[in-house]
Amino acid sequence: MLTLADIFAARAAIAPVATGTPLVPSPYLSEVSGQPFLLKLENMQPIGAFKLRGALNAVSRLPGGSAGVTCCSTGNHGRGVAFAARERGIRAVICMSNLVPQAKIDGIRALGAEVRIVGQSQDDAQAEVDRLVAREGLAEISPFDDAHVIAGQGTIGLEMLEARPDLTTLLVPLSGGGLAGGIALAAKAIRPDIRVVGISMDRGPAMYRSIRAGHPVEVDEVQSLADSLGGGIGADNRFSLALCRDLLDQTILVSEEEIYRAMQILYWEDRIVAEGACVVGIAALLAGKLTLTGPTAAVITGRNCDMALFTRVVTGQSVDLDGYVVEGRAYAR
Ligand SMILES: *Cc1c(COP(=O)(O)O)cnc(C)c1O
């Protein structure tokens, strides 16, 4: 079982490459929520997303002489694994479905990793990973269901509470649950009364449904403004489901329209370029789905968005997500 000691060990393993992102106040969101509201800027990581933490920690634990690593990914984990593999001088093969935006694929290739685009879902990409493990002896690094990855993501929780010991609520985007599970583990070990809330998009929220069902549930993968939150949690989930079930105080769903509006707010009010996945906590707050009781921090998880799509959102144009249209609306307070 993972403990706080694993998270401190992860911090030592990944420093100084992937630690120490700023936790900055958002004047506008503080005003709207009536509480000090802070943003943990993981978009400032060298790969533009927090996933570097878990990937670096996992790669650092591989035995010497490893043939290389492989993973499936919605884009950012692959980029983290590619970065970590390059640092260590080993081969990386990243498997993704064709729902992954081109910007993310390009970022991974630029780090020298091999990219395989397979099928329509994370499950299709996973089949290729299984093949690479069996045939080519590559080590698999799960994007969320790996103890070293979870410990790496948990270092975010340590940093937030060190910077602001008075935080009462953490808002964490929720997909496979490695991020929320790791942060909740760290934060609650230090401050048992802190509230950790996981937020997902309402189109294909695998962890949200799995927690309620009590076992891993399969979801349809569809295009979303929060593309980094797509995909299942794995039929034989070992760690992240139990962690999220036991440690998250609340899980909330938000719509594409709510994500659209929150992306505009983060951009126009805080001047931050971030993926739709990052703003789900802000979206929940603005939609009235969340009550805050004290200083709150939201994890801004990454910036690796398709810039053409991002530009449409912040300039108030309509967005077509493979047939699901989010009506355009110019930003106004
Ligand atoms: C992976 C990812 C998440 C969700 O992390 P999980 O550990 O899968 O829950 C959130 N935001 C971004 C930008 C991501 O890349």
Helix/strand/coil percentages in the chain, nearest 5: 45, 15, 40
C-beta 178 within 6 A of ligand 1: yes
pLDDT, one tens digit per residue, over 168-226 is 999 999 999 999 999 999 999 999 999 999 999 999 999 999 999 999 999 988 999 99
Ligand 1, atom 2, lies closest to the CA of 228
Average pLDDT over residues 43-55: 97
Indicate the top mutation candidate among 171, 301, 304, 306 to test ligand 1's pocket, ranked by most ligand atoms within 8 A of CB: 301
Query: 55 C-alpha to center of ligand 1: Å?
Result: 12
Q: Give the torsion sign (CA, 84, 86, 88, 90).
A: positive
Q: How confident is the model at residue 65 (pLDDT cuts 50, 70, 90)?
A: confident
For the CA of 231, the closest atom of ligand 1 is 8
C-beta 216 within 6 A of ligand 1: no
Question: Residue 185: its pLDDT value, please?
Answer: 98
Please check the confidence at residue 74 and state whether its pLDDT lies above 90. Answer: no
Domains 4-46+147-323 and 51-140 fall in the same CATH topology: yes
pLDDT, one tens digit per residue, over 150-167 is 999 999 999 999 999 999
Number of neighbours of residue 258 by Cβ within 10 angstroms: 23
Question: For all residues of the chain together, what is the average pLDDT?
Answer: 96
C-beta 55 within 6 A of ligand 1: no
Question: pTM of the predicted model, to two decimals?
Answer: 0.97
C-beta 179 within 6 A of ligand 1: yes
C-beta 76 within 6 A of ligand 1: yes
**Residues in CB range of 295: below 8 A, 6 or more apart:** 35, 36, 37, 38, 164, 166, 167, 168, 169
CA gap 158, 92 in Å, rounded: 29
Say yes or no: domain 4-46+147-323 is CATH 3.40.50.1100: yes
Question: Residue 1: its pLDDT value, please?
Answer: 85
Query: 85 C-alpha to center of ligand 1: Å?
Result: 20
Query: Where along the chain do its domains lie?
Result: 4-46+147-323, 51-140
Amino acid at 225: L
How is residue 327 annotated by DSSP?
A: P
CA-to-CA separations, 139 to 66, 116, 149, 152, 326, in angstroms, rounded: 8, 16, 14, 18, 40
pLDDT, one tens digit per residue, over 102-158 is 988 999 999 999 999 999 888 889 999 999 999 999 999 999 999 999 999 999 999
205 contacts 219 by C-beta, under 8 angstroms: yes
56, two tokens? 């670096």
For the CA of 172, the closest atom of ligand 1 is 10
C-beta 275 within 6 A of ligand 1: yes
Average pLDDT over residues 255-264: 98
C-beta 144 within 6 A of ligand 1: yes
Question: Residue 252: its pLDDT value, please?
Answer: 98
Question: Residue 101: its pLDDT value, please?
Answer: 86
pLDDT, one tens digit per residue, over 268-308 is 999 999 999 999 999 999 999 999 999 999 999 999 999 99
Indicate the top mutation candidate among 57, 150, 170, 179 to test ligand 1's pocket, ranked by most ligand atoms within 8 A of CB: 179
Question: Residue 177: its pLDDT value, please?
Answer: 98
CATH number among 3.30.70.100, 3.40.50.300, 3.40.50.1100, 3.20.80.10, domain 51-140: 3.40.50.1100
Query: 326 C-alpha to center of ligand 1: Å?
Result: 22
Question: Residue 162: its pLDDT value, please?
Answer: 97
